[in-house]
Chain A
Amino acid sequence: MVGLDFFVYAFLVPLLPALAFVVLGLTGKSFRNGGGLLAVGAEGLALLLSVFFAYEESVSTTGIYHDSSFVWMGLPDGTNFVMGTLMSPLGALMLLVVNIVGFLVVVYSLEYMSHEEGLPRYYAELMLFLTAMNLVCLADNFLEFILAWELVGLCSYLLIGFFWKKPEAASAAKKAFLVTRVGDVLFFVGVFIFFTSLAGVVNPSITTLPYQGQVCPGGQVTWACAGFTFAPPNANSNAPFLAPGTITSPGYGSNLMTLAGLLILGGAAGKSAQFPLHTWLPDAMEGPTTVSALIHAATMVAAGVFLLAITSIYIGFTSTAALVILGIGSFTSLFAGTMGVVARDIKRVIAYSTMSQLGYMVMGVGASSLVLVGPGDAMFHLFTHAFFKALLFLSAGSVIHAVGTQDLFAMGGLLRKMPVTAFTMLIGALALSGIPPFSGFFSKDGLLALTWAASQHYAVALPFFLLALVGVFLTGFYIFRLWFLTFSGSHSRTPGLHGHEPSWIMRAPLVALAGLTLVAGVLPLFGGFANLLPGVQWGTLGYSYTSSGWVFSSSDLMVAIASLVLAFAGVGTAYVFWGNGRVFSLPENSWLRAPHTLLLRKYYFDEVYDGLAHGVILGVARGLDWFDRYVIDGTIHAFERLFSQASERGRRIQSGLVSNYASWIALGLVVLLVAIIYGIPWLDSLWGGG
């Protein structure tokens, strides 16, 4: 590579929090406030570096993939397992998201967490998480990606269980770990299928990459040649969108390929809390609010979307797999929204909205794979969502910090007491609902337009597009239900509840995130930012940014208008029910009671899974236990008895009596004698005297 090759220093970004982790983990107790300032310093430097790298990546003239790696293990058959960093557009964008939110959350933690016990542990785990998350962004092969991915999951487990003395927190941590584990296993199997079975398919015949149709350097897809290594499509990220059906590479659309894509979707669904592996995310809110903001809203749960996005670039999904991805995403977006409508816990409402928004992103990756463009729109929504969701969480944290409860129905009337928080949360809520000019509108609109385009090619996708539209209505409804219940009205519903604004340490990140939420939506218009979003359409108000400039499309305009109307309708409905301090409660004998209970109990998924665990898995376990006890152990015991009895008999030969031993010697002698005198001539005659 020519020019200043500073991208080899990308490893510094994960290294800085890693150093902080080591220092805090070993000597954290000797710092004041648990070493929070050290964490802020390390993360701040990492933030500066990642901003620098993201900027350089967006304006890079030396190609868009900057790989610096070394061979970690070489196998005799030529397969190399490499370790290293890959600076790619998606990775740089993700790096930016992780470190901006990470830095703000660490700053926010300085006050929010200040009177908790075990602060060194908190900061050390946070630093470990940021290390792992940065590694996820920079991994240049699937092996490294899996390592980082696992580490991220571990940190999630540790941080959800930060209040480990609370039984709910401990069990939520276990639940999160186990449920994501189900997805991870699927993910690994998918990667192994790619590695073992499909490498040959991808390797020689595909010189054109799935979505861009560009020839790789050397005519090879290096991820297949070099083991798990990602294949950098050596192309301009704003490559023209291909018409559907141009991929003709043999073996590319095989059923195995579809299966592998679905397995990878399983991993992403586990991490991103998509249906049906979604049950852990609401429970994960038992962790500190900062952790919810960082891990379970902005970064780690988005890693599943990131995984789908890079897979769609480096490997590509078959149309069947892409359709399933689209369906799962759009279904989750509506499904999670319905549960958000009835939840009473302020954090859980936001958690459901996270699931819902992640569903939009997953849907976007599926749609972009169907219409063969880059996953830029999904990544753009990931980018904006990270900010407004972290903003919502941190604002909610500010409220919880002030009033000491998480029950929405216990709050109310906090607008006057906490104006800044109320204002920042309003911005977040507007962005989430998709009201312009806040960032959520632009990114969500892009996704909807993309899905609409996909449904033009694949009619199966049309119902899912409609589901997503309904989800838009629900989003506006439940988030404003939350906002009205918390802030509107003249007084709180709980006597003696006194809110107050937090200090500037907590307010500053709120304001910063609010600012980002305001501007993030239009960032693709400036500079090279769109270069970080390969394939982004930014389909705002009917305008799409393509390689040939701005293109107006009336169907995109229709989608935008529809989603706007639905969002406003959602907000308005919320105002009717909850605005101005009103508290709507369902009449006792309403026909809506049953669905309401269904939603409150989260569609009984926990019960179903528990039943599965108790009925099926426990039954299988009992069967296996029986098998182990009586068949395997029985066989072993039979052998044991055989040998012990044989030796019990055999030891009688060992009388210890010299005469008996002599008898055996004599017997042996006689046998030898007979063998020599008769046996050898007999054998000789047998073999013809040879």
Chain B
Amino acid sequence: MIPLDELLVFSGLLFSIGIFGVLTRRNFIMLLISVEIIMNSAILNFVTFSAYSPSSSVAQAVSGQGIAVVLIGLAATEVALGLAIVLALNRIIGSVDVAKAMELRL
């Protein structure tokens, strides 16, 4: 069995890399990819805790995987939506550079 702390550290490092990508990249597609890395680290955590669940009830312990399933579905929709936004952004400002999408500021 894989030690729990190794799993958590792996997940934490993935999360950090994802966050770093979100913060430093300007290409919207890169942002999306970074967000996907973050999502994956979160899903990995759910699966890990499902495996390490102290609960004696198998049905309860497996619910972590259930949530992971839901999350994978959500991640997929998120990507679809994000890509639609990429298309819209590209059409409106002619670029996918988030630094050029400054509409939030007056």
Binding site for B on A (CB under 8 A): 654-659, 661-663, 666
Chain B residues near A655: list those with CB within 8 A. 102, 105
- Taking a contact as CB atoms under 8 Å apart, the answer to whether A658 and B31 are in contact is yes
CA distance A638 to B49 in the complex (A): 57
**Known pairs A659-B98, A659-B99; A654 contacts B105 (CB<8 A):** yes
B89 to chain A, nearest CB (A): 11
CA distance A657 to B26 in the complex (A): 9
- Taking a contact as CB atoms under 8 Å apart, the answer to whether A659 and B24 are in contact is yes
CA distance A663 to B25 in the complex (A): 12
- Taking a contact as CB atoms under 8 Å apart, the answer to whether B99 and A657 are in contact is yes
Chain A residues near B102: list those with CB within 8 A. 655-657
- Taking a contact as CB atoms under 8 Å apart, the answer to whether B22 and A662 are in contact is yes
CA distance A654 to B104 in the complex (A): 8
CA distance A666 to B103 in the complex (A): 22
Chain A residues near B101: list those with CB within 8 A. 656, 658
- Taking a contact as CB atoms under 8 Å apart, the answer to whether B99 and A666 are in contact is no
Report the interface size class on chain B: 10 to 19
- Taking a contact as CB atoms under 8 Å apart, the answer to whether B23 and A663 are in contact is yes
Chain A residues near B19: list those with CB within 8 A. 666
Binding site for A on B (CB under 8 A): 19, 22-26, 31, 98-99, 101-105
Chain B residues near A661: list those with CB within 8 A. 104
Chain B's interface: helix, strand, loop or mixed, by majority? loop
Chain A residues near B103: list those with CB within 8 A. 656
- Taking a contact as CB atoms under 8 Å apart, the answer to whether B26 and A659 are in contact is yes
CA distance A666 to B16 in the complex (A): 10
- Taking a contact as CB atoms under 8 Å apart, the answer to whether B105 and A659 are in contact is no
CA distance A662 to B20 in the complex (A): 10
10 examples of A-B residue contacts, CB within 8 angstroms: A654-B104, A656-B104, A658-B31, A659-B23, A659-B25, A659-B26, A659-B98, A659-B99, A663-B23, A666-B23
CA distance A661 to B23 in the complex (A): 9
B53 to chain A, nearest CB (A): 21
Give the 4 A-B CB pairs with smallest separation, nearest first: A656-B105, A656-B102, A656-B104, A658-B98
CA distance A657 to B101 in the complex (A): 7
Chain B residues near A656: list those with CB within 8 A. 101-105
CA distance A658 to B35 in the complex (A): 13
A661 to chain B, nearest CB (A): 8
Chain B residues near A657: list those with CB within 8 A. 98-99, 102
Which single residue of chain A is at the shortest CB-CB distance from B31?
A: A658
Q: Contacts A656-B103, A659-B25, A666-B19 given; 19 further ones with Cβ under 8 A?
A: A655-B102, A656-B101, A656-B102, A657-B98, A657-B102, A658-B31, A658-B101, A658-B104, A659-B22, A659-B23, A659-B24, A659-B26, A659-B98, A659-B99, A661-B104, A662-B22, A662-B23, A663-B23, A666-B22
CA distance A662 to B105 in the complex (A): 15
Which single residue of chain B is at the shortest CB-CB distance from A655?
A: B105
CA distance A633 to B25 in the complex (A): 49
CA distance A659 to B31 in the complex (A): 9
Chain A residues near B105: list those with CB within 8 A. 654-656
Chain B residues near A663: list those with CB within 8 A. 23
